[in-house]
A and B are shown apart, each in its own frame.
Chain A
């Protein structure tokens, strides 16, 4: 049914008020690009939605030159991420990935936080942020904790957030040399995403979209056997965008091209 049920709304520009509100039956939301369709389909049935878009504390993009990192608010949209000079300078691959998310409407309204917290496997940001070694800052009314991206996203559509927690920011180390991101996107969402950080000594390979959650391996440069094991062992999804065999073949071909190595 296209008609949404009637929902309560909590709207505040104050983070503490927002944190006080979230809990059982409450769904935080930002762009609504995932929550609205999921609620329309009855997959999510929140009683009250809590608007994060007006909370200034969730909208910053700040650089910490000393630490060599950028902190990005959870309510930052894909569009702002891709257009922001700081992100473009220090995290060019992330900026570029954000500029290729879905379509213009999704980029203008969808947010970093919504993307990570919905934990839809067919996503770009999770893969790129995991490859970058980003951390997620999580808060509730009573506390705060910091998680790795692989600790935040624990499965398909599954995070480790408690009902009263929200993601506030992600902190991303400056992009290392030798990074690239490639995706196969024949439909609206990515079919397969591959982030690489390649140096003389090391291959860091992160695979997303076709896996339940982004999956990363660090190999010594030239370890083609290790690469083949990794690729062969990945559990790849079987859906309308193709069977696992197909996705593995595409992944191999890409790695071959990018690393010059048979996987």
Chain B
């Protein structure tokens, strides 16, 4: 479709957009969280007398004050203490909340809460935790048979948060007889899903009801957990989510909301809890991973087996990591034909900040080893790494995992697009070097050189190129509902609970509604998610919104047309079957068949998703039309062939310049989304890096992404997602790492936790859109958002390996790490 401007641009650029951090309620109080200063310890005493006596303090809340509220949350494993009870499991864990009249008073008083600890051994990495007899969780919280989706959490108390396996054929036997076996082990760092807005929540508990405004990506999941915690019906819990200042998975499921709600319950006031970057890093991070891949190839360089071990460092609480591990396993071996497979995964509890969802959802962790392994194999086999991939990639329609949706993408075509873009970049670069003689335009700052800005044509620079490909079972559960309310002038309010966190979903969903209803985009309004008013949504994640929520919006529009037809028929005194929709207007079938016999008019104006209304002569009206034949009943059509606009139908039926007609759309595991996953999300990238041999600095000079999205509802938004995701991947590849030095983080701030900056974006970027109409979503669309991140860390690692001559085993590839690789290469 078209790259219409974002509907939220004006609000955001002028600073008027409302975020959870802006939320206020009458009589609101402020919280400061007292956080653990130990990684693992028993709490022997909490002395709060001084804090309680401090100016402005309303309440000091600890676990023992929570009465009969639920004490723990966790949608898969209910292990997550709202406030540490008896023991702390990571440095930074909330131990108490101080509620006061002002943020200053709360912060000052929080320093007067004295906590005594009896230290326990701190198990701050996965290997130590899995080998230790010391237990981070001494009990299992899992009821027998308890499940979340297909994930049955482990009922164990051995520092294992989750364990899972996927296997077919006989990988061990196939590896034993393989012509070549290549093994790769990589360490994926602990990373923080940096978003401009940190975690924020405002809660107002009143007898029998709870109102929360928060930064939750999945308000309906949060509602469910809060309802359980307070033993309230779902309807009594209202979760509002205004704009979110960035999510990237880090705000999926429940975070600060129980803390804010418990504080409000205890203080009898609305309470706001905010976090700074340090507290946010201690709230959630991505799973760190140690992954080993062994791949066996036959004499033709075809994969005969892959044997993969994944070990996650999941931190103190399971959160969503069991699901992330399961997905990581599914995403670890492909998208290659793998006749024999064994993948084993374990997620270890450690005494560190809890891990959960993060853009890519286990794919980047696994692909780092899996794709680097393909490059190492290509080297060993003496085959071009692109050619090795071409030989082994799955074809469209192939099975990736038995029982799941077959591959809905053409990966070889994607790879070819990458290679031709990289070749074009290289030609452009060579032409430029000839013109400038390899000198970087210097300007007035010639006296000061800052490294990193050096031109890659200089001496002491080495280059490497690599591609990487991933396929992710994305889209999550196909459960979504949407409502379209058409007003008396034909304009539309779209209601969805999908959250807008910068990805542009409000714009894309409005575009779908506008197209289905044949109205201009300006006539569609869409607001924030609010569980009291907007309909059910599973989650906003897994790159699912345009595909899954888009289908729900289409279905709602179909339903709206049906209702309009019924109203038109009712006003006209004819049977509903006698009214048809054409060109965004309602006509008598008799008239329409005269005026547009067989024409496909409407074209781009009307969607192809016309299953909602009737049968019969739809074919005669051309694909994309809705409606059935009808007899006479002239009143519907004033001027023969022109029909009635929907607004006219509404006004006529209500008998006033007023009224509204509503359409409801539902997506479930049925129809286009009967087979899971709703789609495979493709990640396909190419990079070229330069390495400064003196400093070890890596510059990503070229980047090519392929947005294999089936159909781009808004091409600019897709490209924005791809560039953003790839850039986040560059952060992991080169700089981002939460560094634990003993029990606490050494870099819990953005000066030392370095995220990509504008100057770090590659000099040449090509963002390819592959629109082959092969998705299950609206107009053949598939999701975007995570795909372009997934292969980037692997591609950069492989490219650096080629430049340096030693394969990296650990990210991020900071200058000193690359320098050590260069030292190794010299030996």
Name A's B-contacting residues (CB within 8 A).
1-3, 5-6, 37, 88, 92-93, 96-97, 99-100, 103, 179-189, 191, 240-243, 246, 249-250, 253-254, 257
Contacts and interface: CB of A to CB of B under 8 A. Distances in A.
Contacts of A103: 757
A254 B104 contact: no
Given A188-B751, A240-B747, A241-B816, A3 B447 contact: no
Interface of B: 32, 103-104, 106-108, 110, 276, 278, 444-452, 694-697, 735, 739, 746-747, 749, 751-752, 754, 757, 814-816, 819-820
A5 to B, nearest CB: 7
B819 A246 contact: yes
A191 B278 CA distance: 23
A181 B108 CA distance: 45
A214 to B, nearest CB: 16
Contacts of B452: 185-186
A100 B450 contact: yes
A237 to B, nearest CB: 12
Contact of B32 (A3, A6, A185, A240): A3
B450 A5 contact: no
Given A246-B696, A254-B694, A186 B104 contact: no
Given A2-B276, A6-B104, A181-B448, 19 more contacts: A1-B107, A2-B278, A3-B106, A93-B447, A96-B445, A96-B448, A181-B447, A184-B815, A185-B452, A186-B451, A186-B697, A189-B751, A191-B815, A240-B739, A240-B747, A242-B814, A246-B816, A250-B819, A254-B694
A121 to B, nearest CB: 14
Contacts of B446: 96
A88 B445 CA distance: 10
Contacts of B103: 3
- A-B interface, 6 closest residue pairs, ranked by CB to CB distance from nearest: A242-B816, A2-B276, A253-B694, A96-B448, A3-B107, A246-B816
Given A240-B739, A242-B815, A5 B108 contact: yes
A3 B104 contact: yes
A13 B20 CA distance: 40
A107 B583 CA distance: 58
A37 B697 CA distance: 29
Nearest to A179: B447
Nearest to B747: A240
A241 B749 CA distance: 15
A187 B104 contact: no
Contacts of B747: 240
Contacts of B697: 184, 186
Nearest to A181: B448
B447 A243 contact: no
Question: Which of A88, A184, A249 has the most CB atoms of chain B within a 10 A radius of its CB?
Answer: A184
Nearest to B822: A249
Nearest to A247: B816
A93 B276 CA distance: 37
Contacts of A241: 815-816
Given A183-B450, A184-B695, A88 B815 contact: no
B751 A187 contact: yes
B459 to A, nearest CB: 9
The winner among A1, A88, A100, A103 for most chain B CB atoms within 10 A is A1
A68 to B, nearest CB: 19
A53 B820 CA distance: 45
A183 B451 contact: yes
